[in-house]
Amino acid sequence: MKIITLENAAQIGEQLGRYYVDFVKAHPSCVLGLATGATPLPTYAAIVKAFQAGEVSFADVTTFNLDEYCDLPKENKNSYYTFMWQNLFQYLDIKKENVNFLDGNAADYDAESRRYAEAIRAAGGIDLQFLGIGRNGHIAFNEPADAFTDEPFRVALTQSTIDANSIYFDDAPMPHYAMTMGIGSIMRSKQIVLVATGESKAQAVKGMIEGEVTPRLPASVLQQHADVTVYLDKAAASLLG
Ligand code: GLP
C-alpha cells in the first residue's frame, strides 16, 4: 500500500482529481469504478473543473458504481444513481449507456448480481477503482462479516452504517438493505485508490493499514492488492504508528 497524507480533504481532491484527468487522457477508453458519499466530492469537483476547462473527455469512458440502496426509487435524492448524476455525470460528456449501476429495485437480486458481475467482465474489468471507507472499515457496502465476499450481492446494512448515513434521509426512511459489489469484484480491479478524511475514519484507517487482514474489517483486504494508493488527511492518519 502506498500512503499519501495531505493536509486536508480539499488538497486530496485537487491532487487526486489531477490524477484522474491524467489517467483518462492516457487511457481514453478506461473503465472506472466509482464511489459515493462525502469523500469523493472534492475529487469529482476537480474532475468537473478540468473537463470544463477542456482538458479531458469522458466520451469513451465506462463507469461502474460500487453500490446502491435497495427499496429506494432511483429518482430519490439519496439514491446513488441521483448522487452520481448530480455531482459528476451531468457535467461530463460521458455517454449514458456507458454508466453502470446495480439496480436496488431489481425483482431478482441474484439475477441482478450476476448481470452486474458479467457486465464488469464484458467491459474488460475495472482499471481504476475509487473507494471510501466506512467508520467500521466497510468498503462499498461490504460490512464486517465472517468471510470475505466475492461477487455483487444484496447486503443487510449494519447499525453503524445506518447511523452514519441516516443524516441524509430527511424525507424518507433510510433503507436497511443495499446492493453492493463484493470484495472479490473490488480486488479484481487493476488499480485502487482509497480516500479517507476526518477523525471519524482514523480507527478504521489504522486497522486497514496496520491491523491483521480480516473480514471483520473489510478494508484490511486491500493489504493483499498489488496496486493500492491510500490518500489520507491529517485527521484520518492521526492514529497511525
Ligand atoms: C457509504 C458507502 C461507501 C462509502 C462509505 C463512506 O455508506 N456505501 O461506498 O465509501 O459509506 O461514506 P462517506 O464518504 O460519506 O464517509
We report the CATH number of the domain holding residue 31 as 3.40.50.1360
Q: Mark whether 136 is an active-site residue.
A: yes
pLDDT confidence band for 116 (50 / 70 / 90): very high
Stretch 5-31: mean pLDDT, rounded?
A: 98
Q: What is the pLDDT of residue 175?
A: 97
In a domain, 132, yes or no: no
Residue 171 has pLDDT above 90, yes or no: no
- Mean predicted confidence (pLDDT) in 193-205: 98
166 Cβ partners below 8 Å, 6+ apart?
Answer: 174
Q: What cell numbers appear for 131 in the block? A: 473507494
Which region among 134-148, 162-176, 208-222 has the lowest average model confidence (pLDDT)? 162-176
Indicate which residue's Cα is closest to atom 15 of ligand 1.
37
Altogether, the residues listed in the chain come to a count of 241
Q: What is residue 87's predicted lDDT score, i.e. its pLDDT?
A: 98
Q: What is the pLDDT of residue 172?
A: 83
pLDDT > 90 fraction of the chain, expressed in percent and rounded: 98
Whether 38 lines ligand 1, by a CB cut-off of 6 Å, is yes
211-233 mean pLDDT:
98
Q: Which residues of 73-84 are buried (b: 16+ CB within 10 A; e: fewer)?
A: eeeeebbbbbbb
8 inside domain: yes
Quick check: CB of 68 below 6 Å from ligand 1?
Answer: no
The yes-or-no verdict on residue 42 having pLDDT over 90 is yes
Q: Assess if residue 121 is contained within a domain.
A: yes
Q: Which domain holds residue 46?
A: 2-127
Q: Give the pTM.
A: 0.97
Q: Does the pLDDT value for residue 46 go beyond 90?
A: yes
Q: Whose CA is nearest to atom 5 of ligand 1?
A: 134
Is 43 inside a domain boundary? yes
Domain presence at residue 200? no
How is residue 191 written as a grid cell?
488499480
Chain segment 60-100, per-residue pLDDT in tens = 999 999 999 999 999 999 999 999 999 999 999 999 999 99
User: Would residue 94 count as lying in a domain?
Assistant: yes
Is residue 208 scored above 90 in pLDDT? yes
- Does a structural domain hold residue 62? yes
What is residue 88's predicted lDDT score, i.e. its pLDDT?
A: 98
Among 138, 169, 205, which residue has the most ligand 1 atoms within 8 Å of its CB, making it the best to mutate? 138
**Overall average pLDDT of the 185-189 stretch:** 98
- Asked, for residue 99, whether it belongs to a domain, the answer is yes
The HSE-up count of residue 166 (CA atoms within 13 Å, CB side) is 12
Average pLDDT, the chain: 97
For the chain, how many structural domains are there in total? 1
The C-alpha R_g of the chain, in whole angstroms, comes to 17
